[in-house]
Every structure is written in structure tokens, then in C-alpha cells.
């Protein structure tokens, strides 16, 4: 890759720096794509010493990171100091995390980076500091807004054996059902189909759309939403030439034979989508944001405050996120 991946520090008190260091140490063994870490270089150096790891750091520019990656961990500074101890967020946490995200988006938008890879943030810490967005996905959409409008971000959880998309995301179940509509399902599926084609290189993506109710409503006897909301969305998508099936009973969509019949499962609410993929691919799942004008991936786990700074954090999901970002960048010619 000519252009490196922009990797954010995430919540400084979490395991973001730990897994970034662990991934860099395995760069040759795993033939990882070049990346640079966005954050406070003094903090990264202090965390590496805390972990008992001696690594050479290069305070770098994004443009120089790819050349430096083989021999040093490139760190691009934001100007925000991070002072949080492992597992103990402090007043520097939110500004550090937010500044890194802004910097990564600016780099990829300007063509200095091939894609954005984000380490986990602590939403409660950001909310306490006045963060106005529900999470990473919504903040990235705000940063990607243009005079043409704000993009509709779609959260995909991806692994080699299963990809899932929830139509409604971080909502109480009662509110998710209220907000579900045929238009929302169809809009989500269109973005999924487009990005699977353009960024994953799948010529004709196959989508499986779950029902909302048990047994997909059992022809209306277990709820009318599948017949009144989900089925019309499926018919609309079919009329547009998209290869789609549904509404399907969610309880029979995720066994091995069923997974071979589609490229992505589109589910009606958060847990319906995330429980199966976190059961099947807990360590190497990747969070991908579709519908943005740039590529964004992330490890599919949280900040893990309880093991931050201990050396126990598993970098597998970050490694998968880096590899997938590089694959998507290559498919779209962003390298």
C-alpha cells in the first residue's frame, strides 16, 4: 500500500494503545498493511513502557508513515495530551479520543490515508464531557457531511463466516420497533448492496432480510409488522434488481448451511444481528461503517478497562480491522 491506514488511539484509558502496539510488533509475521497511530506520542511511549515493551516510535506525518512503518511505530500527534492511567479515564480522555477521530477523517478526506480504523471509545466518558452523538458511527456521519447533506451511515459487523447489519442500532427495543419502516429497511439494504459491490468486490450481493417477530410473524398471527413493514421493503428491493430474500425467521438464519446462501444478513434490531456474529466470531469480528464517503473499520469490542495496561488484550479484532480496511481500500483504488 502506498497510503497508510489512519488508526485512532480511542479511549486512552482503554486497550487501544495496547492492541496497536501488539499489532505493530507482529507486522512482519502477519504482513500487516502500514498504519500510523493518531494520539499523544508521549502517552504511547509511556504505555509501551508500562507494558514492558520497548518499541521505537516515530513522531511522523501521515505522508511519511508508510515508509517509517517497517522500523518504527509511526505516531501522528493531535496536540491533545493524554494522561489517563490504564482503566482510569480522566479529563484528558474525551478530548484525546475526539481529536484523534477528527484528525483521521481529515487525513483520509485529504487523501493522506487510505482508510480510517478506529480504536474503541467509552461512550459514557464522552457523554459526561458533552459529546452530542450516540456513538462513533453518528459522529463520523457528522464529520462526513457536505453541502449535499449528511450521509446515512450503516453499521455492519463483518467476519469471514458472517456479515450482519442491524437496521435500527442503539435504541431501546420498544423504540426500535416504533422507528422501523419499509423505507428505512430499503434504504439500509441499498447501501449494503452498493458497498458490498464497490468496496467488497461482490458482483451481485445476496441479501437475507430477517423478520421482526418470531417465525417472521407466522403469517400475521405473531405480529403484523413482518407482513406490513418488512415484506413491502423486500418487494421494493426486488423490483430494483437487488438479490434479496425475506422476511426470514431469524432463528433459522445463522446456522452454517444457511450462512452459505447469502453475503449479508440484514436484521431489524441490534441484538438480533449482533448476538449471532459475536457468538460465531467474537475475537476477529470487525465493525464496518457503510454509506460514508470514506472507508472506516473498527475492532468489534469495547475499551476493556479491566485489562488495559496488563498485556492481556487480544489484538485479533484490530488486526482483522486493519486487514479489512486495506482490502476495501484496494477494491476501491484508494491505496
Does residue 136 surpass a pLDDT of 90?
no
Confidence of residue 334 (pLDDT cuts 50, 70, 90): confident
Question: Residue 139 and residue 131: Cα distance in Å, rounded?
Answer: 9
Does residue 113 surpass a pLDDT of 80?
yes
295: nearest Cα among 162, 107, 146, 86: 107
What count of other Cβ atoms lies within 10 Å of the Cβ of residue 150?
12
Tens digit of each residue's pLDDT (9 = 90 or more) over 166-211:
999 888 999 999 999 999 999 999 999 999 999 999 999 999 999 9
Question: Residue 316 and residue 37: Cα distance in Å, rounded?
Answer: 17
Does residue 335 surpass a pLDDT of 80?
no
Lowest mean pLDDT among 33-37, 233-237, 265-269, 328-332: 328-332
Query: To which H or E segment does residue 226 belong?
Result: none
38: which 3 cell numbers? 493518531
Count Cβ neighbours within 10 Å for each residue of 291-323 and write b for 16 or more, e otherwise. bbebbbbbbbbebbbebbbeeebbbbbbbbbbb
Domains of the chain with bracketed CATH: 1-153+292-335 (3.40.718.10), 161-280 (3.40.718.10)
Tens digit of each residue's pLDDT (9 = 90 or more) over 37-72:
999 999 999 999 999 998 999 988 999 999 999 999
Question: Residue 224 and residue 183: Cα distance in Å, rounded?
Answer: 17
Does residue 23 surpass a pLDDT of 80?
yes
**Does this model's pTM top 0.95?**
no
Alpha carbon 241 to its chain centroid, in Å, reads 28
Amino acid at each position: 500500500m502506498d497510503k497508510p491506514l489512519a488508526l485512532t488511539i480511542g479511549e486512552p484509558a482503554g486497550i487501544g494503545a495496547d492492541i496497536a502496539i501488539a499489532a505493530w510488533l507482529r507486522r512482519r509475521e502477519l504482513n500487516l498493511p502500514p498504519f500510523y497511530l493518531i494520539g499523544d506520542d508521549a502517552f504511547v511511549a509511556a504505555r509501551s513502557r508500562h507494558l514492558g515493551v520497548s518499541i521505537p516510535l516515530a513522531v511522523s506525518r501521515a505522508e511519511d508513515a508508510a515508509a517509517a512503518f517497517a522500523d518504527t511505530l509511526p505516531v501522528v500527534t493531535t496536540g491533545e495530551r493524554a494522561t489517563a492511567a490504564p482503566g482510569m479515564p480522566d479529563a484528558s480522555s474525551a478530548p484525546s479520543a475526539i481529536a484523534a477521530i477528527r484528525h483521521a477523517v481529515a487525513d483520509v478526506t485529504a487523501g493522506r490515508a487510505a482508510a480510517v480504523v478506529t480504536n474503541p471509545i467509552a461512550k459514557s466518558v464522552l457523554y459526561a464531557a458533552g459529546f452530542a452523538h450516540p456513538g462513533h458511527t453518528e459522529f463520523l456521519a457528522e464529520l462526513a457531511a457536505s453541502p449535499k447533506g449528511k450521509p446515512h451511515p450503516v453499521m455492519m459487523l463483518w467476519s469471514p463466516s458472517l456479515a450482519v447489519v442491524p437496521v435500527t442500532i442503539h435504541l431501546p427495543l420498544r423504540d426500535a420497533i416504533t422507528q422501523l419502516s419499509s423505507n428505512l429497511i430499503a434504504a439500509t439494504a441499498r447501501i449494503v448492496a452498493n458497498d458490498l459491490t464497490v468496496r467488497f468486490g461482490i458482483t451481485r450481493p445476496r441479501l437475507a432480510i430477517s423478520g421482526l417477530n418470531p417465525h417472521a410473524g407466522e403469517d400475521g398471527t405473531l405480529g403484523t409488522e413482518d407482513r406490513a413493514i418488512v415484506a413491502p421493503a423486500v418487494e421494493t428491493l426486488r423490483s430494483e434488481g437487488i438479490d434479496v430474500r425475506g422476511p426470514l425467521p431469524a432463528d433459522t438464519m445463522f446456522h452454517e448451511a444457511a450462512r452459505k446462501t447469502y453475503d449479508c444478513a440484514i436484521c431489524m434490531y441490534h441484538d438480533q444481528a449482533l448476538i449471532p456474529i459475536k457468538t460465531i466470531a467474537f475475537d476477529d469480528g470487525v465493525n464496518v461503517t457503510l454509506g460514508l464517503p470514506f472507508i472506516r473499520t473498527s475492532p468489534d469490542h469495547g475499551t476493556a478497562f479491566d485489562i488495559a495496561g496488563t498485556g492481556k488484550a487480544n489484538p485479533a479484532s484490530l488486526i482483522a480491522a486493519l486487514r479489512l480496511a486495506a482490502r476495501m481500500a484496494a477494491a476501491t483504488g484508494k491505496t
